[in-house]
Chains A and B, each alone.
Chain A
């Protein structure tokens, strides 16, 4: 097990190099980075001084290698807007984004598991068709619009819930629901189809034949075996979730990493964007690793034991 984890972590390294290269190229094709650092009326000498001070006068490959060296020690440079190191700014806002994402995942599971189960058990019934169609509609709705509609209904019309900022749990309800509804349809669809497949298997027939209660058959035999593809998709949804967080955080003024990245893109605060995207990608990679490791827990036949 520990060897498997080590291998996987070592394999993350080339990915992180690739990521830093993508980010580096992105920053440089976007124009002269010095232009953001000096006053618009700066003289050529002033610009040259700033350029040399930040090392932007050296050849590109050298600049890239320097930036890699810095990234390795967690130094992504200073934020132009906050006049402080970029990485701490991002890490500071990480808990808010994680809180939002975790609640969103819980809401998604609370929706997806019952709906997926009911759809599979009553396959092709009117209920199943209705549920399937509404989850397809859920896939089609842009989540910022869903967020605005929830604001319109619960914030503006009914005045039940606060529509922006932080405070107590009630501030979390609307943004987390918006994000949760965004990933629920994919999970529902997957659970439905894998349950339908599993329910046809022989061991389910056997379990029924030996007189087990339907509840035990469905929950212990069928559901558990549907969980592996389910968890895989859940892991893949983490990337989607963090992407959605950028927009949802902006709509609900939630002070997380997503909003920070968006605001930083607006003012071309390169260091913060780079640090933020880096952390986001790292979270996605770690989430996928955890998904792979969870297979061993879900399916006793899979094990990563050291040989």
Chain B
């Protein structure tokens, strides 16, 4: 990152101090630290799930059905967050459920970034008729509510983990295209881009090596925030039965199963939602902090 900055913008020439500035800003901004901590914790949980889960998340136990959390009244000391309608340990299922969120959030957003950035770069850099057509496509996509498009697409393709990742990736690219296009339009008039063109560099080279590094900050910020959106969308679709299918463990499916036992077992629908909210909160806090740290122009208040 720092090397591309040196190449792309010789006037700015203070990569190391920029990194120090990041570290300082992270120290100052405790909210950013909380975000980073939450995101790290979820990642660690996803990677080490088999090691840290107290029970087998798939093991049925008819005699231990719908037990309350150990600290609640009538709780069972063996199950910290209680058990579900099939006697499975809720805590272990929550820990394993983080894997789907991490995979869908990560891969889904990666697809959106690749598609959106490519379209935004082409649209902004080429201009003219291509820009017109692409911008109209972006407008059209913006008009369809994200979750409805994803719902219809997953519904018709058939719900599965792979389809969910592809669909959420291909429906979430619009924001990236819009922002990248806007940034490209402002960057391409700067002196160093004009200079690069003057010495005879080709369009693609300029787009990739001069324009892209300058929009990277916005992309990172947007991607972090988009992960939160995708994780919420994944859980919504799984909740509706249009996402990841059982027996794969996801927070959305846990929630929809828990919804049937609201009157008797409040913990079943509560904890998966807490996990989704916490994870999304972590991404949002991290994203907001990155925005402040990476792009002073966007700093608020």
Tell me which of A146, A152, A196, A242 contacts B266 (CB under 8 A): A152
Contacts A144-B255, A149-B270, A265-B242 given; indicate if A281 touches B155 (C-beta within 8 A).
no
Tell me which of B137, B151, B266 contacts A262 (CB under 8 A): B151
Cβ contacts B243-257/A at 8 Å (1 or 0 each): 000000000000100
Interface residues of B in 142-186 (CB under 8 A from A): 142-149, 151-153, 155-158
Interface residues of B in 87-132 (CB under 8 A from A): none
Contacts A140-B284, A244-B147 given; indicate if A148 touches B269 (C-beta within 8 A).
yes
CA distance in complex: A239, B142 (Å):
8
- Could you say which of B18-26, B57-65, B70-78, B232-240 contacts chain A? B232-240
- Could you say which of B188-196, B202-210, B211-219, B275-283 contacts chain A? B275-283
Contacts A144-B236, A148-B262 given; indicate if A123 touches B301 (C-beta within 8 A).
yes
Interface residues of A in 37-72 (CB under 8 A from B): none
CA distance in complex: A14, B151 (Å):
24
Q: Is the CB of B277 within 8 A of A156?
A: no
Chain B nearest CB, measured from A109 CB (Å): 20
Q: Is the CB of A26 within 8 A of B145?
A: no
Chain B nearest CB, measured from A163 CB (Å): 9
Chain B nearest CB, measured from A257 CB (Å): 10
Check: B3 CB closer than 8 A to any chain A CB: no
Q: Is the CB of A268 within 8 A of B145?
A: no
Interface majority SS on A: helix, strand, loop or mixed? helix
Q: Is the CB of B143 within 8 A of A239?
A: yes
Chain B nearest CB, measured from A6 CB (Å): 18
Check: B136 CB closer than 8 A to any chain A CB: yes
CA distance in complex: A139, B228 (Å):
9
B277 proximity list for chain A (CB < 8 A): 137, 140-142, 145
B300 proximity list for chain A (CB < 8 A): 193, 196
Q: Is the CB of A281 within 8 A of B262?
A: no
- Could you say which of A15-23, A166-174, A299-307 contacts chain B? A15-23
B266 proximity list for chain A (CB < 8 A): 152, 156
Q: Is the CB of B301 within 8 A of A124?
A: yes
B156 proximity list for chain A (CB < 8 A): 26-27, 29-31, 265, 268, 270
Q: Is the CB of A265 within 8 A of B147?
A: no
Q: How many A-B residue pairs have CB under 8 A?
A: 150
Cβ contacts A185-221/B at 8 Å (1 or 0 each): 0000000110010000000000000000000000000
Check: B139 CB closer than 8 A to any chain A CB: yes
Q: Is the CB of B301 within 8 A of A250?
A: no
Residue of A30, A124, A144 with most partner-chain B CB within 10 A: A144
Interface residues of B in 266-301 (CB under 8 A from A): 266, 269-270, 272-273, 276-278, 280-281, 284-285, 288, 300-301
CA distance in complex: A141, B269 (Å):
13
Check: B263 CB closer than 8 A to any chain A CB: yes
CA distance in complex: A30, B159 (Å):
11
A273 proximity list for chain B (CB < 8 A): 152, 155
Check: B17 CB closer than 8 A to any chain A CB: no
A242 proximity list for chain B (CB < 8 A): 145, 148
Check: A151 CB closer than 8 A to any chain B CB: yes
B139 proximity list for chain A (CB < 8 A): 15
CA distance in complex: A240, B232 (Å):
13
Check: A295 CB closer than 8 A to any chain B CB: no
Cβ contacts A255-296/B at 8 Å (1 or 0 each): 000100110011010100100010011001100100000000
| A-B pairs, 4 with minimum CB distance | A30-B156, A243-B145, A145-B273, A265-B155
Q: Which residues of A contact B (CB under 8 A)?
A: 14-15, 18-19, 22-23, 26-27, 29-31, 123-124, 133, 136-137, 139-142, 144-146, 148-149, 151-152, 156, 192-193, 196, 239-240, 242-244, 246-247, 250, 258, 261-262, 265-266, 268, 270, 273, 277, 280-281, 284-285, 288
Q: Which residues of B contact A (CB under 8 A)?
A: 31, 136-137, 139-149, 151-153, 155-158, 228, 232, 235-236, 239-242, 255, 259, 262-263, 266, 269-270, 272-273, 276-278, 280-281, 284-285, 288, 300-301
